[in-house]
């Protein structure tokens, strides 16, 4: 799919735009700051601030839980192998747990573990009463069947929301999944806290991954947006994206979404995250999204940066899902 998108990206069309009113409330939320560009129109959404507020609320809630039932939520993490990016993600999640008072139990297994060893680990975490949420850090090594391992996670502890029962209940209107995938919840949280109206708006989601694209399209539909999904087989994707009041991209192709892909006033939620070389950085690299930020900022009404946009909110949604799981397990409400 990525190859397809790169080839799509290389085509540029110079077409005129039809203007339409921005779908955001005229009252801008305190999470939105003016982007520092000469020719700006967009407000930058501060994902770190949103995440910080969510974590503060969760911390207080977990403190109350401890006082009330002498229990705290627990997150079990299964990490197979030593992929640098996975190690980094797990470290970030563990630290975030500590910040709000969630205990975390990271089980590290060697790269050459068997599928049965991973399944046994998942089974033990399913049985562990102090673990309320379980996540299996993806991707797994090639010799393992991801489907089998994800399906083994108890539906009641599936804080990533990738189990087909949770995904099916997300798709089915009128049903309530126990968990919604964190990135998708993060996207909606960002929209809500930025006072963006969703119902009746045209939303375009670029990408169909189970982690982000698919659940985000299903969730936006639950909030009554008219959703279109663009992918590698979409001809002239910019024609579809230019219709969007809300544009969500999660493909992992830097600068895929250019200025001419956007309708003036669009809300841009950039969920891409790719490590690219950057000689000017002390690390020699930096994280970048799918959207050409400099072009988006002069076209959009609101835009999430990468890093510092949806990413931190996604992590806080994992904490929120884990806290919800614990509340259900202890039948505790504030």
The residues annotated with a catalytic role in the active site are 93, 137, 160
Token pair of 202 as six digits: 């045209």
169: number of Cβ within 10 Å = 18
Minimum separation from the CB atom of position 106 to a copy of itself (A): 26
**Would you say 234 or 288 has its CB closer to a copy of itself?**
234
**Would you say 86 or 151 has its CB closer to a copy of itself?**
151
Minimum separation from the CB atom of position 38 to a copy of itself (A): 34
**Would you say 210 or 260 has its CB closer to a copy of itself?**
210
Q: What is the 3-state secondary structure (H, E, C) of the chain?
A: CHHHHHHHHHCCCCCCCCCCCCCECCCCCCCEEECCCCCCCCEEECHHHHHHHHHHHHHHHHHHHHHHHCCCCEEEEEEECCCHHHHHHHHHHHHHHHHHCCEEEEEEECCCCCHHHHHHHHHHHHHCCCCCEEEECCCCCCCCCHHHHHHHCCHHHCCCCCCHHHHHHHHCCCCCCCCCCHHHHHHHHHHHHCCECCCCCEEEEECCCCCCHHHHHHHHHHCCCEEEEECCCCCCHHHHHCCCCEEEECCCCCCCECHHHCCCCCEEEECCCEEEECCCCCCCEEEECCECHHHHCCCCCEECCCCCCHHHHHHHHHHHHHHHHHHHHCCCCC
Minimum separation from the CB atom of position 125 to a copy of itself (A): 21
Positions touching a copy of itself (CB under 8 A) are: 147, 163-169, 171-175, 199-200, 202, 208-210, 214, 218, 221, 224-231, 233-235, 237, 240
**Would you say 141 or 164 has its CB closer to a copy of itself?**
164
**Would you say 121 or 234 has its CB closer to a copy of itself?**
234
Minimum separation from the CB atom of position 222 to a copy of itself (A): 10
**Would you say 133 or 237 has its CB closer to a copy of itself?**
237
**Would you say 110 or 168 has its CB closer to a copy of itself?**
168
What residues have CB less than 8 Å from 71, skipping those under 6 apart? 65, 326, 330, 332
Minimum separation from the CB atom of position 168 to a copy of itself (A): 3
Minimum separation from the CB atom of position 171 to a copy of itself (A): 5
Minimum separation from the CB atom of position 233 to a copy of itself (A): 4
d(CA 307, CA 47): 9
> First CA to last CA across the chain, in angstroms?
45
């Amino acid at each position: 799919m990525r190859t397809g998108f790169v080839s799509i990206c290389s085509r540029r069309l110079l077409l005129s735009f039809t203007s339409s009113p921005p779908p955001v409330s005229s009252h801008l939320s305190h999470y939105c700051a003016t982007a520092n560009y000469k020719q700006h129109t967009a407000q930058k959404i501060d994902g770190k601030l949103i995440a910080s507020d969510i974590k503060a609320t969760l911390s207080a809630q977990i403190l109350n839980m401890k006082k009330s039932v002498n229990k705290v939520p627990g997150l079990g993490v299964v990490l197979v192998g030593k992929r640098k990016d996975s190690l980094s993600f797990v470290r970030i999640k563990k630290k975030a747990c500590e910040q709000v008072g969630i205990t975390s139990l990271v089980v590290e297994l060697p790269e050459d573990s068997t599928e049965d060893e991973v399944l046994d680990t998942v089974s033990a975490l399913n049985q562990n009463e102090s673990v309320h949420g379980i996540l299996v850090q993806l991707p797994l090594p090639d010799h393992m069947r991801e489907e089998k391992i994800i399906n083994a996670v108890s539906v009641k502890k599936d804080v990533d929301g990738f189990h087909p029962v949770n995904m099916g209940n997300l798709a089915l209107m009128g049903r309530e999944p126990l968990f919604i995938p964190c990135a998708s919840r993060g996207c909606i949280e960002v929209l809500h806290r930025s006072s963006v109206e969703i119902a009746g708006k045209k939303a375009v989601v670029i990408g169909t991954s189970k982690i982000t694209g698919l659940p985000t399209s299903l969730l936006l539909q639950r909030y009554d947006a008219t959703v279109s999904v663009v992918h590698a087989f979409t001809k002239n994707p910019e024609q579809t994206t230019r219709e969007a009041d809300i544009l969500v991209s999660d493909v992992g192709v830097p600068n895929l979404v250019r200025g001419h892909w956007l309708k003036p006033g669009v809300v841009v939620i950039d969920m891409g995250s790719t490590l690219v070389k950057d000689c000017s950085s002390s690390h020699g690299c930096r994280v970048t999204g799918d959207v050409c930020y400099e072009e988006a900022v002069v076209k959009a009404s609101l835009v999430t940066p990468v890093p510092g946009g949806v990413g931190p909110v996604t992590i806080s949604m994992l904490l929120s899902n884990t806290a919800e799981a614990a509340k259900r397990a202890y039948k505790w409400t504030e």
